[in-house]
Structure 1
């Protein structure tokens, strides 16, 4: 009998009305965000049960964006399981706090403050890490920049696209190019890219963000074909909406069902343990399949979301008024529940 898939813990968020409480109550696969993917299930059947402890024992795992949110929760999880985590982010103070948190759980962590917008700094990071620890067994490209702004407000903001591409695409690419040769030489390695459900759903207002994530997704697919014989695995995680500081400026997300960073770390722990090619929530996979069959229908759905959830005050650059961005109405809350995890 095939092993049962583990459930992620119940979604916990600040209760905001009956609709939101219902939307945050797990109901089957869609409610728990249990990663369901055909090859993933086949992998589990063929290889049987595995453990995170077995996957990270004696290994060095480098995590970008490790000072808070998903990165921190994942570092704590890996450290508790016996892996050595290399924590990378810009601010040393917050990284030191993250290191202390990992060590408080019995883990081993090392701090490497790095500005990932600086390509030469990334090169120094990779060289320092290899010199200090010998190798990197698992690279988790988690750091990212998200911009929620309609194209109508972006005509004179080409720099938004440049900065997003720099952090979400060029930075992880630079790390891959620095660390992949050692992985191929050892014939062992794993690269995990934290992508977005937006790449599957192609949501409006996130053109800069999802384009940068899609670039890394497709690049990794191409490299995977070349490194297949070297026992290197690339895993793309199409992560649904997670309640982190990155989404805080968009206050309407207070009424959206989201994952907690701890639940997101469960997904990444699953990725490390089973090394699937892709992981994603059911709604993202359904959207990608529907878009492949009939993009015109999905265009209409996306246009509906575009009109239902307007640009935020932060995107417009306007001062706060008596009306909050979060006032999306009952129809908006219902639409968010029906498309749970999608960042409109």
Structure 2
């Protein structure tokens, strides 16, 4: 295999365990300089008596985040489309002594978003933290997407427009009170610009950029926008790609810890060091990063789901080659 210039530097940043952006499962999360100045803090102190709205709260990252916030004393408002699963999550929070308010809502429907937002504000009076976690991921090469413009529309609707609609409903109250936080669960892919995920990372990048702009407007008003560039997380969203079974990935519980860290420290951005380095490398030498991304694109095939079940089938996790597994570990956290 030909050597790619610059890959050694990226490999060095990728060498740490994926958990925790330095193993949060076994040790405290890495603090940034401003976090140290603010003090260690605690989730209990950050959320007790607060109303936290979480979208996509019926499973995966949203569910784990809700459980942790509920256990810490926050009032958790759960938003997702399926009432049955929301009720199950709410039941788990209440069984642990927490407060949960499940609110079924189809986030592809603007009127439904406006209605549920109005109900939440009317009942709770304010939203202290909004966590835009709900998302749709599509892993499909452009060669299979020429006649699938609807993939781009649906992804932008849920990942961008739904989040914007909620932000516009809760932001006025936050500004009036002089406090509040909006956390967007973005993607590591926005930094690494991975192939096959063009529709997905474009929608996440749009929200990242919008909220950077909005932060400039409310910087002195006590409102904080937080972007979490989340690496690969082992949730149902990645299940169709069987090769991911062999990829390094966070657990939903790990991901929930990262969201909790963002609440405690009111971080502006959180993400793995490799993502920041990849973004820096991309700004200095796009051609090198293009070569690395193209190598990954050629190494990993489209999933069966992306090909609508047509042959040839993708390799299973057991059939992953040594080269594929090594490349996945080298670029740990990246969804190829």
Check if 1:273 corresponds to 2:264. Answer: yes
Counterpart residue number, 2:238: 247
Contact 1:312 1:325 (8 Å CA) reproduced: no
1:119-157: CA deviation from partner (whole Å, max 9, x where unpaired): 110000110000111110000000000000000100000
Q: How many Å separate the matches in 2 of 1:149 and 1:76? A: 32
Residue by residue over 1:205-226, the C-alpha shift from the partner in whole angstroms, topping out at 9 and shown as x without a partner, is 0000000000000000000000
- State yes or no: 1:330 paired with 2:316: no
Q: Write the distance in 1 (CA, Å) between the matches of 2:22 and 2:37.
A: 27
Give, in angstroms, the shift of residue 229 of structure 1. 1.5
Q: TM-score, normalised by structure 2?
A: 0.91
Which shows bigger deviation, 142-151 or 44-53? 44-53
Of residues 291-300 and 211-220 in structure 1, the stretch that sits farther from structure 2 once superposed is: 291-300
- Structure 1 pair 218–99 and aligned structure 2 pair: CA distance change class (3 A): same
Q: Secondary structure of the equivalent of 1:98?
A: helix
Q: TM-score scaled to structure 1, two decimals?
A: 0.89
Q: 2:42 corresponds to which residue?
A: 51
Q: Tell me which residue corresponds to 2:3.
A: none
Given candidates 260, 280, 287, the residue that maps to 1:289 is 280
5+ long unaligned stretches in structure 1:
1-22
Q: How far has the Cα of 1:31 moved from its partner?
A: 4.7
- Match of 2:229, SS state, is strand
Note the aligned Cα RMSD (angstroms): 1.9
Is the CA contact (8 Å cut-off) linking 2:19 and 2:249 kept in structure 1?
no
Stretches of structure 2 that go unaligned for 5 or more consecutive residues are 1-13
Map 1:219-238 to 2 at 5 A: 219-238=210-229
CA contact (8 A) 1:35 1:279 kept: no
The 4+ residue runs of structure 1 with deviation greater than 4 A are 27-31, 33-36, 319-323
Q: Paired residue for 1:41?
A: 32
Where 2:225 maps in the other structure, the secondary structure is strand
Q: CA deviation at 1:42?
A: 2.0
Q: Deviations over 1:244-271 (max 9, x none)?
A: 0111111111111110000000000000
The offset of 1:328, in angstroms, is 2.9
Distance 1:177 1:289, change over 3 A: same
